[in-house]
Amino acid sequence: MRPFDYTAAQSVSQALAGGGAGTAYLAGGTTLVDLMKLEVMTPRQVVDINRLPLRGVSADRDGLHVGALERMSDVAGHPLVTGGYPVLAQALLRSASPQLRNMASIGGNLLQRVRCGYFRDTSTGCNKRRPGSGCPAVDGENRGHAILGTSDSCVATHPSDLAVALVALDARVRLVGRGGTRDVRLADFYLLPGDTPEREHDLRPGELVTRVTVPALAWATRSAYLKIRDRQSYEFALASAAVALDLRGGVVRDVRVAVGGVGTRPWRLPAVEEALRGRAARPEVFEAAAALAVEAARPLTHNGFKTTLLRRTIVRALTNLVG
Amino acid sequence: MTGQILPGARSDGSAWSVGAVGGAVAPGCGSSGGVRCVGGGVGGIGASPVRPDGALKVRGEFAFSSDLWADDMLWGATLRSPHPSATIRGIDVGAALAVPGVYAVLTADDVPGDRHYGLEVADQPVLAVDEVCYRGEPVAIVAADHPETARRAAERIVVDYGVREPVTDPEVALAGGRLVRHVPIRKGDPAAVAEVVVTGEYRVGMQDQAFLGPESGLAVPAPDGGVELYVATQWLHADQRQVAAALGLPVELVRLSLAGVGGAFGAREDLSMQVHASLLALRTGRPVKMVYGREESFVGHVHRHPAILRYEHGATRDGELVYVRARILLDGGAYTSTTPAVVANAASLGVGPYRVPNVTVDAYGVHTNNPPCGAMRGFGAVQACFGYESQMDRLAEAVGLDPVEVRVRNALAEGGSMPTGQVVEGPAPVARLLELVRDRPAPPPVGDDPRQLPGGVANTTAPEQVVRGVGYAIGIKNVCFSEGFDDHATARVRLELIGGEPTALVHTAAAEVGQGLVTVQAQIARTELGVERVVVATADTSVGSAGSSSASRQTYMTGGAVRAACRAVRAALLARLAGGSGAGADDGGVADDGGAVGDGGVVGDGGTVGDGGGRVAGGGLELAGGVIRDAAGRTLGTLVDLLAAGPVERSVRWRHRPTRPLDPVTGQGDAHVQYAFAAHRATVDVDPELGLVRVVEIATAQDVGRAINPQAVLGQIQGGTAQGLGLALMEELQVVDGVIRNPSFTDYLIPTILDVPPMAVDVLELADPHAPYGLRGVGEPPTISATPAIVAAIRAATGLPLARVPVRPEHLTGTG
């Protein structure tokens, strides 16, 4: 770990004053400290934001609001979440381990870095870590990597489960900086790697994520997060699907589908949704729609299985929701 | 996972079992048939006394080797090779030395003694000499006043590498003459023909021991020019020998003490930081601590050999084996470590616990530029078992027999002959173990508790989406060191009055690595000496070698040594009782081969079976509760009175019966001391659509000869089975071009408690007439057959061939 200066901010304005290039905000620390030990992240200044008043889970006419410093465990168990948005509670509970969920913040979860082994190994090239140094994953160990949204520069999978569920629900994040406050759709917040994989999201230097808002969606009570992984717990997704279903009389009135473990960012699937809307909730309809999910898939040497697995994951998620 | 005890559940009274549900403790003293705890009464052999480290560990208060501290200590760091293969044209340490806070930067040129070490062959450099042969090989070491300073300085060392193309394919290595050892086994007719022939090629990935406590220790320079080394290891004296040779010091100037061990499983049998910390301590004159990080730990120890196994089994139409032909290729990585012995195990145990009249096995170990491989629980037997048990299932299918039936038909039994020609002496209950797991009640049918379903709490799978399968396997393992190795253990036992109470002090160099050996030594002393108070000293090199805590040998070997030393103490006490030795301090003495010398006056020791404990002298005397009584129950004396004249101390070096080398051409020879057997039945639920597996239940049966500590036996069986489950379903180091790509516990997956199913355990206690108390090594067998049983169950559920472990979702969805 490189030497750094540590300060604890007492207010948002104080945190913003200390922010900027070379500074990292510390919340739960479950990503940052790990990557600092590996020297993948080497901030000169660490600003602890845990004392900021960015807490609370509430609901109003606009929807559900979650403070960015809420811990994953607390949000997963909150009645407004479990009652109104099961997909969120499930995505949270199927992330990481209880110990990590007790520490990790909502904001930090959305900003967590990729799990690519090359990103974490400073002895290798990585365009995300060191722009222009190449992407060894393209021809290397890429079983866990993405099949959607990849570029020649980066094929790393976005790691967050929560973000997949939030993207399915059209969530927004509130970003506060010295220049002011703005709300951004989470789906737009994350950037494709393209030629600049070091830019993962639309957060400007010094900006803070202060809260997440999920627009009210009455039929999100029929929603679920289905996750396929290599062991029963504490493991990232090989494929996952966040699905919400407005089902009336056996017909899909409306639907949301986003997938994880397969994309370079949380991956909303509007074409799949369109193919389901107004159709009978039947296996062949689900299968035809799910096939659209992988039309643009670009499998790598070791993750070709994800194409089929993703289709089946979507079908299963829909099937289980119909019940 | 532990369950209800069903005493007397087996008709012969020499078995006990633990159900798959419920919760209870293992049987205590006297609960299994025929066990008689004389001696200490409380906490003797057959009991499960509370272990001294248990509460400390669950409270997080146990001091591991990484917790060692000296006030004026420096911190060591290691510069490692970034290349799997390269020449070293030059090393410039100037910039590192210039870093403030740095006290020493050392390279191979600073190694005063032998520059290479190794358990069997000294071919591994202490620090790289002119070349590096695997990624992560130590090149230089630094001591500084802060661990970060040391690491930072190490980064500033400039190494001029001439990068070479690494050899990472073991077949290429074999063809290219990089052979470490070839062990052929030839028995019977090499041209035998059979009515039914099944063939297969199987692969086993590189498994890691995945201990939690990283390599760590503290070296303290001594005023006499030597060094005191506190370290987590499996074999103090092997470390001592190698460290002394590298330092160019006589062994008596290198003194090791065991520090708290955070798991071992074979990975601490080779040296890691021992020489490095000692070199730095001697150079700087300050204590030096080294602690590996997790990523570093993955390149800091050896791994399980990956294997390619080709088998051909010939049998009659009735499923009786006619011949087995096998070729087993093991990737030993960059240095020799224990590869020769692993190859011998894979070869000599290569057909499994079966009667096979005609055997042709060729096992090879090769050098590559992959990470070095060496000891890991199961040691060559694991890889072979996945091959031969997969084959037995194919044979069962080919001849239309049930998988258990085909195994029982060919089961090895007492008096049977191994492919090496060695006759199996003592119980070999292969058929019975298989029948025990077969006859266990089936686990409950598929339910709707998500934790019990594939995908677990991720709610992926509904009961109707599940296919169930059941699979069986049995394995065989040698216990103790083989092939003529001079395998011995020393124990020093002192009996004296402390605070007026007779107290036994037991001192050995045997490494407690979490298996409960400290407790076992105390139990034996209680039973043999009839005292309750036993103090087990910290293991160190001021007493003779105990050999390694590996090969399932330590209860057999150090247990045997402690028993022999206790009996020597008893004999001395009897001499006092008879007025023979007079008063005053007893100067003890070392008895070699304690089975004979030093056991004088002990009866019931001839065959070494049975408790023996407590019965002393010829007249049926008994020592219990500190009192010596005759056969009629009359008190002849008390320990308090006898010890008033001073302590009694005896030290015994104890050996198991000798073994023989394998003939280098035919592989014939009585190479092994003892065989151990365990069987598994795995029941799995598979979601074939999503490639998810849930192991629902494992039934296992094992003959332990004699359970010295039933709770520890259960722990070994459950833990070993879980480790076998890991190899079956998830554990593999991903090595790409010689580089480990998943060196963390987020990326190298081991089973969580949600992955480990309830286990139904049957324990047989069929005494081995050659072993202390009749015991049989326990630690390794559970790991061996768990893996193939689980894979067989998945095959039964899916119909897929599954020729490689670990089995992952993509192997089941048919798209990988």
- Is residue B453 located within the same domain as residue B468? yes
DSSP string covering B349-361: TTT-SB--SEEEE
Q: Do B556 and B425 reside in the same domain of the chain? A: no
Domain membership of residue B35 (yes or no) is: no
Of B457, B459, B809, the CB nearest to A233: B457
Query: Which residue, among A191, A208, A217, has the nearest Cα to A85 in the 3D structure?
Result: A217
Which chain A residues touch B738 with a CB distance below 8 Å?
none
Supply the range of the domain harboring residue A289: 221-322
Output the DSSP codes for B197-239: EEEEEEEE-------SS-SEEEEEE-TTS-EEEEE--SBHHHH
pLDDT of residue B814: 76
pLDDT-based confidence at residue B31 (cuts at 50, 70, 90): very low
| ipTM entry | 0.97
Same domain, B364 and B327: yes
Phi/psi for B742 (5° steps) reads: -135, 55
- Verify that B255 and B334 share a domain, yes or no: no
B626 and B773 in a single domain? The answer is: no
Q: Determine, yes or no, domain membership for A180.
A: no
Range with lowest mean pLDDT among A267-271, B35-39, B176-180, B239-243: B35-39
- Percentage of chain B beyond pLDDT 90 is 86
A278 lies in some domain: yes
Would you state the pLDDT for residue B38? 38
Residues of B in contact with A287 (CB under 8 A): none
**Residue A275 contacts B where some CB pair is shorter than 8 Å:** no
Residues 3-32 of A with CB under 8 A from B: 3
- Residues A148-193: tens digit of each pLDDT: 999 999 999 999 999 999 999 999 999 999 999 999 999 999 999 9
- pLDDT one-digit tens code per residue, A198-226: 999 999 988 999 999 999 999 999 999 99
| pLDDT on residue B815 | 63
Average pLDDT over every residue of B744-773: 96
Q: Is A99 on the interface with B (CB under 8 A)?
A: no
Integer Cα distance of B544 and B542 in angstroms: 7
Instruction: Give the DSSP letter of residue B539.
Output: P
Residues 6+ apart with CB under 8 A from B578: none
CA distance B543 to A192: 64
Average pLDDT, chain B: 91
- Tell which of B655, B687, B716 closes a domain: B655
Q: Does A138 touch chain B (CB under 8 A)?
A: no
Q: Which of B46, B375, B58, B386 is nearest to B202 (CA)?
A: B386
- A290 and B CB contact within 8 Å: no
Query: pLDDT category, B13, cuts 50, 70, 90?
Result: very low
Q: How far is B304 from chain A (nearest CA, A)?
A: 20
Task: List beta partners, residue A176.
Answer: A181, A208
Residues B283 and B313 in one domain: no
**Does residue A138 lie within any of the structural domains?**
no
Residue B630 banded pLDDT, cuts 50, 70, 90: confident
Quick one: B737 and B645 in the same domain? no
Q: Which residues contact B504 (CB under 8 A, 6 or more apart)?
A: B493, B494, B495, B525, B526, B529, B531, B533, B534, B535, B566
Per-residue confidence (pLDDT) for residue B41, from 0 to 100: 53
| Domain boundary residue, one of B608, B625, B655 | B655
As a whole number of angstroms, the distance between CA B71 and CA B50 comes to 34
Pick the residue with more confidence: B363 or B31?
B363
Together in a domain, B317 and B288: no
Q: Does B183 reside within a domain?
A: no
The predicted structure's pLDDT at residue B812: 97
Q: Is residue A313 part of a domain?
A: yes
Average pLDDT over residues B776-799: 98
**Tokens in use for B239?**
């470390």
* B13 lies in some domain: no
Range of the domain at B346: 307-482+663-813
Contacts of B385 (CB under 8 A, 6+ apart): B349, B352, B378, B473, B475, B476, B784, B785, B787, B788
- Taking an 8 Å cut-off on Cβ atoms, the answer to whether B813 and A308 are in contact is yes
Q: Give me the DSSP letters along B337-400.
A: TTHHHHHHHHHHTTT-SB--SEEEEEEEEE--SSPPB---TTTTHHHHHHHHHHHHHHHHHHHT
Distance to chain A for B686, nearest Cα, Å: 13
**B622 and B764 together in one domain:** no
Same domain, B646 and B758: no
Residue A233 lies inside a defined structural domain of this protein = yes
Which chain B residues touch A117 with a CB distance below 8 Å? 741-742, 747
What pLDDT score does B615 carry? 52
The predicted pLDDT at position B458 comes to 86
Q: Please list every residue in chain B whose beta carbon sits closer than 8 Å to the beta carbon of residue A224.
A: 459
Question: What percent of chain B lies above the pLDDT cut of 70?
Answer: 90
Q: What is the pLDDT of residues B290-307, one digit of tens each?
A: 999 999 999 999 999 999
Residues of B in contact with A228 (CB under 8 A): 455, 458, 460, 690-692, 809
Question: Do B253 and B155 belong to one domain?
Answer: yes
pLDDT by residue (tens digit) across A84-95? 999 999 999 999
Does residue B101 fall inside a structural domain?
yes
Residue B578, domain CATH: 3.30.365.10
Residue B337: inside a domain? yes
Q: What is the pLDDT of residue B611?
A: 45
Rg of chain A (C-alpha set): 19
| pLDDT reported for residue A85 | 98
Q: What is the mean pLDDT of residues B777-804?
A: 98
For A29-86, how does the pLDDT look when each residue is reduced to its tens digit (9 = 90+)? 999 999 999 999 999 999 999 999 999 999 999 999 999 999 999 999 999 999 999 9
Return the CA Rg of chain B. 27
Do the domain assignments include residue B696? Answer: yes
Q: In the listed set B655, B674, B701, which residue is the last one of a domain according to the structure? A: B655
The C-alpha of B742 sits at a distance from chain A's nearest C-alpha, in angstroms, of 7
Q: Tell me the average pLDDT of chain A.
A: 97
- Is the CB of residue A233 less than 8 Å away from at least one CB of chain B? yes
The domain tally of chain A equals 1
Residues A103-116: tens digit of each pLDDT: 999 999 999 999 99
> B341-345, B430-434, B459-463, B540-544 — which is least confidently predicted?
B459-463
Select from A1, A141, A238 the Cβ nearest to the Cβ of B741. A141
Instruction: Count up the domains in chain B and report the number.
Output: 3
The verdict on residue A299 lying in a domain is yes
Q: Which residue of A has its CA nearest to B754?
A: A232
Q: What is the CATH number of the domain that holds A241?
A: 3.30.390.50
B676 with B699, same domain: the answer is yes
Would residue A316 count as lying in a domain? yes
The answer as to whether A307 is a domain residue is yes
Evaluate whether residue B195 is within a structural domain. Answer: no
Least confidently predicted of B10-14, B222-226, B701-705: B10-14
Q: Which residues of B touch A233 (CB under 8 A)?
A: 456-457, 752, 754-755
